[in-house]
Amino acid sequence: MTDRLYIFDTTLRDGEQSPGCSMNIEEKMRVAHSLATLGVDIIEAGFPIASPGDFEAVHRIASEVKGPRIAGLARAAQKDIERAGEAVRPAGDRARIHTFIATSPIHMEAKLRMSPDQVVERAVEAVKLARSLAPEVEFSAEDAGRSEMDFLCRIVEATIAAGARIINIPDTVGYMTPDEFGARISELITRVPNSDQAIFSVHCHNDLGLAVANSLVAVENGARQVECTINGLGERAGNASLEEIVMIMKTRADRYDIETNIDTTRIVPTSKLVSQITGMPIQPNKAIVGANAFAHESGIHQDGVLKHKKTYEIMTPESVGWNTNRMVLGKHSGRAALKSRYETLGVELDDDKLVTVFERFKILADKKKDIFDEDLMTILSGDSEVEMERVKLVSLHAASGTNDTPVAAVEIEIEGVRHKATAEGDGPVDAAFKAIKSLVEPNGKLLLYAVNAITAGTDAQGEVTVRLQDGDRIVNGQGSDTDIVVASARALIAALNKLPNMHAKEVHAQYSGV
């Protein structure tokens, strides 16, 4: 009989811990809805004790996202667990508290300054408390990869006895080799007397590029939950990539005979959405979701594929969602078509939202002939940005040429008051940035400027990602327009809007505009 592998997605928690990948609540909601449409079994929605924003995101996801179980992370500490319990409660019988404590000698001694006995006691208390607050509890032995086997067996047995029904074995620092990690999972399942009362899970980091290999070998040895992220996002080198694990299971069903609940045709749209929201580009040669993953360049390969696709293709691009999103909308498309297209993309629009989004759609459709799914997601992000805009772009005029000094004149509105500036620069984008930055403070240090033509053709929507740093805060902004200078200015403004203390610079003349 075919077995079942549970996909636990931690894009919104571990993925969000990637430097520069923080998302605002609307962005998290969109990712969570998209993950639900993709068919993940569990969404780890965040770390509720970390900040009020994290709490609110987990709470809203637990209230609004239907289908998957919703997990909230908590250290093995009373306040963390109570907060996580409160945040996931709206998910009802789909709520999960995921509590963890480190179990490796180095973590226990240097970080926790606790003895192994104290760690076991704390873990058991944590699981019991969590069990009283949520229907399902997952326990993680942080840095299990470097933990002593006898101790790991002891703490796993104790936490299962305390009520944990999912036992997660993380390779927190990505140190394990596949043979070692597989042996670890097999030994735990064999040695722990009550192991049959829990599902074993793994959570592998990619520091040595082995996260997916280690997850697979764990599955071969009995793990039935894999923690992973879209595009392999996550701390440092990231986590195991969801798309790779799922497609290995599907493509090599002959070896694994394990099913997942994932609708694989949703993989590419979800990957694009996450990349767009986090501002983390996907490397072109990334397996499954990279732009070149199905591109055949050499003559021999092209010839082979033309004669028989299977000569060089082990899975079809359509099966992972490439080319399935080519339904084109245009300026004659109506509201119903737009709403239904968003539904296929996993986005539910209520009537008010549909009105706003439809207006933006029409504006774009006047500028470009074909509107693709990527455009629709961009329209939607524009829509959510509008709601939180303190700074808005009113107008931008940029001029450049082979023998001219590039210059830009901008007008922006900051909390209802209009401001103007003109600047010269090394190109029209640089000039526009200088002009905008001269009007606000703090205005952040530019860490990343990336342009992506998100649809084909010279009338493509250009999408720009800007990453700014102000002190220890790093923020991303995306902007899109058929004019790349305007897209850049929008991206800068979107990022500035995320800097909490950003305000107009005093020195500039202000006038209220109409």
Q: Which of 9, 16, 142, 244 binds ligand KIV (CB under 6 A)?
A: 142
In residues, how long is the chain? 514
**Segment near Zn ion (CB under 5 A), from 6-14, 46-54, 107-115, 140-148?**
6-14
Using rule CB under 6 A, residue 14 touches ligand KIV = yes
Helix axes 52-64, 78-88, angle to 10 degrees: 40
Q: Of 168 and 488, which has the nearer Cβ to ligand KIV?
A: 168
Q: What is the smallest separation between the CB atom of 71 and ligand KIV, expressed in angstroms?
A: 10
| 330 alpha carbon, distance to own chain's centre | 29
The site map against ligand KIV for 200-219 (x = CB under 6 A) is: ---x-x--------------
Tell whether the torsion through CA atoms of 288, 294, 297 and 302 is positive or negative: positive
Which tokens hold the place of 204? 């592998």
Burial class of 139 by CB neighbour count within 10 A (0 to 12, 13 to 18, 19+): buried
Which one-letter DSSP state was computed for residue 298?
S
The site map against ligand KIV for 248-287 (x = CB under 6 A) is: ----------------------------------------
Binding-site size for ligand KIV (CB under 6 A) equals: 9
Q: Of 11 and 168, which has the nearer Cβ to ligand KIV?
A: 168
325 and 373 Cβ atoms separated by less than 8 Å: yes
Tell which positions 97-116 bind ligand KIV, by CB under 6 A: 100
441 and 421 Cβ atoms separated by less than 8 Å: no
Tell which positions 10-39 bind Zn ion, by CB under 5 A: 14
Using rule CB under 6 A, residue 140 touches ligand KIV = yes
Q: What is the smallest separation between the CB atom of 172 and ligand KIV, expressed in angstroms?
A: 3
User: For residues 127 and 81, what is the distance between their CA atoms, to the nearest angstrom?
Assistant: 9
Closest listed residue to residue 104, CA positions, set 149, 167, 49, 66: 149
Partner touching 142 among ligand KIV, Zn ion, none, CB below 5 to 8 Å by kind = ligand KIV
| Cα-based torsion angle of the residue sequence 59, 64, 70, 76 in order, rounded to the nearest 10 degrees | 0
User: For residues 100 and 196, what is the distance between their CA atoms, to the nearest angstrom?
Assistant: 20
Q: Which of 170, 232, 406, 477 binds ligand KIV (CB under 6 A)?
A: 170
Burial class of 93 by CB neighbour count within 10 A (0 to 12, 13 to 18, 19+): exposed
Using rule CB under 6 A, residue 181 touches ligand KIV = no
Q: Of 14 and 375, which has the nearer Cβ to Zn ion?
A: 14
User: For residues 75 and 126, what is the distance between their CA atoms, to the nearest angstrom?
Assistant: 8
**Segment near ligand KIV (CB under 6 A), from 165-173, 179-187, 193-201, 213-221?**
165-173
Q: Which residues contact 437 (CB under 8 A, 6 or more apart)?
A: 443, 492
Partner touching 151 among ligand KIV, Zn ion, none, CB below 5 to 8 Å by kind = none
**Segment near Zn ion (CB under 5 A), from 8-16, 210-218, 318-326, 455-463?**
8-16
Using rule CB under 6 A, residue 172 touches ligand KIV = yes
User: For residues 221 and 363, what is the distance between their CA atoms, to the nearest angstrom?
Assistant: 55
| Residues of this chain that bind ligand KIV (CB under 6 A) | 14, 100, 140, 142, 168, 170, 172, 203, 205
- Residues in contact with Zn ion by CB under 5 A are 14
